[in-house]
A and B are shown apart, each in its own frame.
Chain A
Amino acid sequence: MLTFIARRIIAGVFLLFVISALSYVLLSLPGADVGRSLLGQSASAEAVAAKNQQLGLDRPVIVQYGDWLLHALRGDFGSSWFTSENVLTSISNRLPVTISVMAGVTIVTAVLSFLLGIWAAVRGGWIDRAVQIVSVVGYALPGFLITLILVIVFAVQLRWFPAIGYIDASVSLSGWLSTITLPIIALSIPAIAGVVQQVRGSVKDVLNRDYVRTLRARGLGPNRILFRHVMRNASAPALTVLGMQFVGLLGGAVIVEQIFGLPGIGSMTVSYTTRGDIPIIMGLIMFTVVGVILINLLIDVVIGWLNPKARIAS
């Protein structure tokens, strides 16, 4: 298990390195005149050249990347070209918002999709059909459309929640809850739709396995078989899908944070990437990729713990 985790971490670091190199080179490719866009049309050519030199943009891309990498390895991601904010500080200021939304979504998704999926698989009949239809519709509707509907119904019409804004948990716990509830619901619906199908499918599959019949023949009760044996065997594929949903969630967070005006990583991505602010973009990419790698590692560890075969195979 430990060597497995170690190998995954090494692979993850390598992945980070490749992605950072690729993104840096791609971001620098079009050779947009950063100095010009910083200083505006009226600036003199000398001033623009001086600005570019100050930012180190007159050097070859490889050198620029090497410089960035050396600093990044020491935890220094530089500062924004446009606002001179420190990249690390501005990301970590916004991180708690995104993390609280993501954590909420993950918990809600995991709990609800397991409950619904098991229910549909065991009971069958109209419950099964209803869960299936709801999940297909939830999957089919674009996430931001669901978000807009939620805003119109619960924030604009019913006024149960604020339509926009964020209150930190340290300021007011109820305020924090009221500002993150709708975003969490909005992101959870498509995620549940994806995961519930997998849970239902794998529970149905495991219920038909021979060993379930043998366990019944040994006199074990249906609940014990379902929650101890079926759940354990069915959860590995479901967790894999949950991990894949997480990557999609990061994309969804961009839109949801924008709509609800949450000061998180997602809305930051929108405002900075459109300007081609390489230090900030690089910082954001690194953070999201690290998040994705960590979540997938976590899920693989849980799967290995649940399934002895996967533990040996890896």
Chain B
Amino acid sequence: MSNGAGSGPSGIITRTYKAGSIIYFENDKSEYIYILKAGKVVLTSLKLDTGEETKEEVRQGEFFGVKSALGKYPREETAQTMGNTVVLVLTPADFERLVLKNANVVKKMLRVFSNQLRRIVKMERSVLGEGEIVNPDAELFKIAEYYYKAGVVQHAQYAYKRYMEYYPDGSNAALAMKRIRAIDAGEPAPPDIGVPDAGPMDMPARPASGGDDFSIDEPGGDSDMIDFDATSHQDEPGQGSADSTLALSDEMDDFLAEKNTPSMDDFSIDAAVAGDTPRDLNDAADASFAKGNFSTALDLYRKIISLNRVNGNDDKRLLEKAHFDAGRCLMEMGKPKEALEIFSKVLRNFSDSPYMKMAIYHIGLIFESVNQKEKAITYYNKVLNMSPKDRLNSEALNKIKLLQGK
């Protein structure tokens, strides 16, 4: 395929084709990437599921042949010219140099690729029937049990804690809590610890939680973690929920005192090592948070809050972030009431903050976690209506759908 080749100034080759020429065939192996400079190119491929032929026209200035070149796989389509055509031919190295100079090009491609990947993975799941039968709650618990049984207590502890973090109302919450304490006390796994030997395909069927949202909102089992009173099922007092400034203090009353909520902290505290600027503290806090040391992280975020620096934009943002993340720590630690207090501070004090929306979303999560569905929906609704529309809006929508579907 060397018709009309000529080298451009950057070493990138320009190639001209007559109408009807094949630039490459499906299943060819080649590392070249093309840009359509002039003329017309049509890509023909077969649909995976139906075998149907699909044609796609490349627009001038667009790349083609990128995926197979970068992924080092055979071409998945045939590229044919539909008139006299000029293309630029790039090696992956040329391509890399070119796109590194233009972040928008990479971003745009990344968006296209991730959409494709998302679609295919979804299709794969539906063919496997996965989305419908997998129960991440039970699976996560099984991982924890596996490691405990295998004597890898560090990993077991991690998984149990994660379980408590995500499924405080889950059907295994009480047991997970018991295991966490047992591991803390240095107890080995009990001999009766049972991990049924079953792959996901053998799992008992359970209604899908929407596929992309796994906070199971079934009434909790015998969790000993969150012990809110039955008043949590009462309806919201009839006013105020439509207001965009949230009168959370009223709603706080709906939470009765938590009775001896056991702390599920990680007790390895070495918060003292951090520096003392908000930035230092924040980095140390984020690192602790990432490792699941929520109590340490909380201490550090609280330090930032007590410094109360609002001089530069950076400090201001860190202060807002510290509030929000302190709330997340408290949620992780099974202290929803305190978390709610701090999120409400974000709402009161930082109404123009980027953390505002996330704080509202998390308030929704808290209400959801204690089964106050109506209130949760109210907050998710607020998120839904906030601009800019981003992923959080769609997550809020998913939440609402799920909660209303029950």
Do A and B belong to a common assembly? no
Residues of B within 8 A of A (CB): none
Residues of A within 8 A of B (CB): none
